[in-house]
Structure 1
Amino acid sequence: MVTIYDIAAKAGVSAMTVSRVINNTGKISDKTRTKVRRVMEELNYVPNHMARSLVLQQSNLLFLLITDITNPFYTTVARGAEDAAKKYGYRLLFGNSDESVEKEKDYIDTILATRADGVLVAPAGDPSLPHLETLRRHQVPFVLLDREVPGMDSDIVLGDSKEGARKLVNHLVSQGHQRIALINGSPYVSSARLRLEGYREALKLNDLPYNDSYVLETAFEPRSDLSDIAAWLDRMDPLPTAIVAGNNVLGVEVIRTLGNRGIDVPEQMSLVCFDDLGPYSEIDPFLTVVAQQAYQFGYLGMQMLVERIQERGETGIPWKKIVLPAELIVRRSVTVI
């Protein structure tokens, strides 16, 4: 294994100079820096970041823990988080909890084992509180993303879920719809609760009744078994003329379930949802959506995390909360009645 002493000997400098080049510290001439780096490349030297982290008590590793990277919303969040991490000189690891509290706990253990400097996390739900308490107990800074957890004060980046739901319902009402259903995430997820609140408020403001049978609370993640959605459709009598989906995954699954029954969107059922389907939605734009600023979620969240890491040890610094507005994008999935 090549060491800094091997590099120093070949470059004709001290080991301390090599260390300063690797860590980008101290005053070193550009000529010396270039010479040392050239020797490092020739010898295929790879810095031992683990050893460095033990010395500096800093790993320069950050962790992004989200629910599902295949969801276009979180894919874009990850892009923003990585760009910000790289800008500030950090490397980024990530994991998917799949909205599983057990899987999330395993990742918390991994985060502690890798000595990550901080975590940007979209919690699985309210039961994530003990995991966040574990991070705080081990003095690992974290920023919450997209979801609040009751009992935990922290920095957080949120979308305006309640207002987004109101925008979707108001749009449907403007197109003549009065029987409007909602398929939503778990009531143990804060964003799902806010979307339900926004849905109910919009119905009330438009003098429309709230009907329990028109609401299905399920999970935001993908599924192969659509039977719960099919059973929900069977229970509604009369069928709604429009459905609001709590996220893009549920929106696609509603389309699949309706298609299995020969129900066409939008001719026979209108559909709107939270979150866009990613950059490729522009190829054949179809779903009317409330699009959240996914890239900004990741970028600003990571920026807040780095600031919190830099402030580590300081007391009395207030928690920061950013709420990003969402944009209604009208496409072809709603028919006028």
Structure 2
Amino acid sequence: MVTIYDIAKKANVSAMTVSKVINNTGRISEKTRTKVRLVMEELNYVPNQMARGLVLQQTNILFLLITDITNSFYTTLARGAEDAAKKHGYRLLFGNSDENLIKESEYVDTILGTRVDGVLFSPAGDRSLPNLENLRMHKVPFVLLDREVPGIECDVVLGDSKEGARQLVEHMIAYQHNLIALINGSLEVSSARLRQQGYLDAHKLNDLLVREDYMLELSYEAHSDLTTIENWLKALSPQPTAIVAGNNVLAVEAIRAILNCGLRVPEDISVACFDDLGAISEITPFLTVVAQQAYQFGYMGVQLLIERIQERENVKPWKKIILPVELKVRKSVKQVMVE
């Protein structure tokens, strides 16, 4: 492997001069810089980023920690983050916590050992607070995506969860549904709490009775317990005519459970949810959704994070960006025939 000493010997300069050229520091003539760079190219020298990072206290590496890579919302978010990172000269590493606090903690340990410049963090829930405090204790800048955590102040990029849930319920009401159930994520997750609040607000604004048994709390992670959803559906009387799901993963699980119960979507039960299903929605546009700007979550998150990294010594007020949502009406919600 070529070292800076090999370059120094061939260019007839000191190793310190080579180091200054690599790190673009110090006063060196343009003639010497050009000579050193030509030798670097001739020897195919690749700088050791970790060593360079030790010198500059910067690695130009960011880490993206998400909760479910199988969810198209997060894959699109990751695309936006990667594009923004590349544009600004950063590389992006990523991890997937599976909504699991233990796995999340392990990734935080990895992050601290990797010496990344900053972290884009989608927390598993409110109990992620110690992990965020650990990052802050080690002076690692971070930006939260999609979810907030009580007890920590920081930059955050969110979707308008409350407004989106309200729009979904009111869309169903416009189709004459008044028995609308909610399958949601854990209320230890801020987005789930806001979506429940939007669901409740829409009921109150439209003078609909709120039934506690119509609200099922599960997890946002993939492969929830189908049997739980099926048993819940069978126990409801009267049966709801529509279901709002807290995200696209839960919507798919709800549809599977409805079909397993011998019912049809939307003929027997209409379904709508947060977040689109990616490319499949372009091929077969079926599911009515409130779409979030997933790409912008990642892109804007990186921009906020780089601002924090570059202005680490100049503390500015924390920024909270709430991105608007868009209702996409398709075929999964059916008009109820009023007799």
TM exceeding 0.5: yes
Q: Which moved more, 1:40-49 or 1:283-292?
A: 40-49
1:53 is aligned to 2:53: yes
> What residue is the counterpart of 1:236 in the other structure?
236
8 A contact 1:229–1:254 mirrored in 2: yes
1:137 is aligned to 2:111: no
Which amino acid in the other structure matches residue 124 of structure 2? A
> What residue is the counterpart of 1:300 in the other structure?
300
Distance (Å, rounded) in 2 between the aligned partners of 1:173 and 1:37:
68
> What residue is the counterpart of 2:118 in the other structure?
118
Per-residue deviation, 1:43 = 3.6
What is the number of equivalent residue pairs in this alignment?
335
8 A contact 2:224–2:253 mirrored in 1: no
Q: Identify if the C-alpha distance between structure 1 residues 86 and 235 changes in structure 2 by more than 3 Å, giving closer, same or farther.
A: same
**Alignment partner of 1:149: what SS?**
coil
Cα shift readout 1:11-37 (whole Å, capped 9, x = no counterpart): 66665564455435577769965x766
> What residue is the counterpart of 2:67 in the other structure?
67
Unaligned runs of 5+ in 1: none
8 A contact 1:185–1:217 mirrored in 2: yes
> What residue is the counterpart of 1:256 in the other structure?
256
> What residue is the counterpart of 1:181 in the other structure?
181
Distance (Å, rounded) in 1 between the aligned partners of 2:20 and 2:154:
36
Which amino acid in the other structure matches residue 179 of structure 2? R
**How big is the alpha-carbon RMSD for the aligned residues of Structure 1 and Structure 2?**
2.0
Which amino acid in the other structure matches residue 228 of structure 1? T
8 A contact 1:213–1:235 mirrored in 2: no
Which amino acid in the other structure matches residue 255 of structure 1? I
Q: Identify if the C-alpha distance between structure 1 residues 278 and 41 changes in structure 2 by more than 3 Å, giving closer, same or farther.
A: farther
Q: Which moved more, 1:287-296 or 1:277-286?
A: 277-286
8 A contact 1:21–1:36 mirrored in 2: yes
8 A contact 1:67–1:97 mirrored in 2: yes
Q: Identify if the C-alpha distance between structure 1 residues 55 and 205 changes in structure 2 by more than 3 Å, giving closer, same or farther.
A: same
**Alignment partner of 1:323: what SS?**
strand
Per-residue deviation, 1:8 = 4.3
Q: Which moved more, 1:44-53 or 1:292-301?
A: 44-53
Distance (Å, rounded) in 2 between the aligned partners of 1:22 and 1:268:
67
**Alignment partner of 2:173: what SS?**
helix
Distance (Å, rounded) in 1 between the aligned partners of 2:329 and 2:31:
55
1:329 is aligned to 2:328: yes
Per-residue deviation, 1:226 = 1.1
> What residue is the counterpart of 1:309 in the other structure?
309
**Alignment partner of 1:65: what SS?**
strand
Unaligned runs of 5+ in 2: none
Q: Where does 1:160-199 land on structure 2 (aligned, <5 Å)?
A: 160-199=160-199
Distance (Å, rounded) in 1 between the aligned partners of 2:48 and 2:121:
27
Tell me the percent identity. Answer: 69
> What residue is the counterpart of 1:318 in the other structure?
317
Per-residue deviation, 1:288 = 0.4
Which amino acid in the other structure matches residue 104 of structure 2? E
**Alignment partner of 1:219: what SS?**
coil
TM normalised by structure 1 equals: 0.93
Per-residue deviation, 1:65 = 0.7
1:218 is aligned to 2:218: yes
Distance (Å, rounded) in 1 between the aligned partners of 2:333 and 2:39:
63
**Alignment partner of 1:99: what SS?**
coil
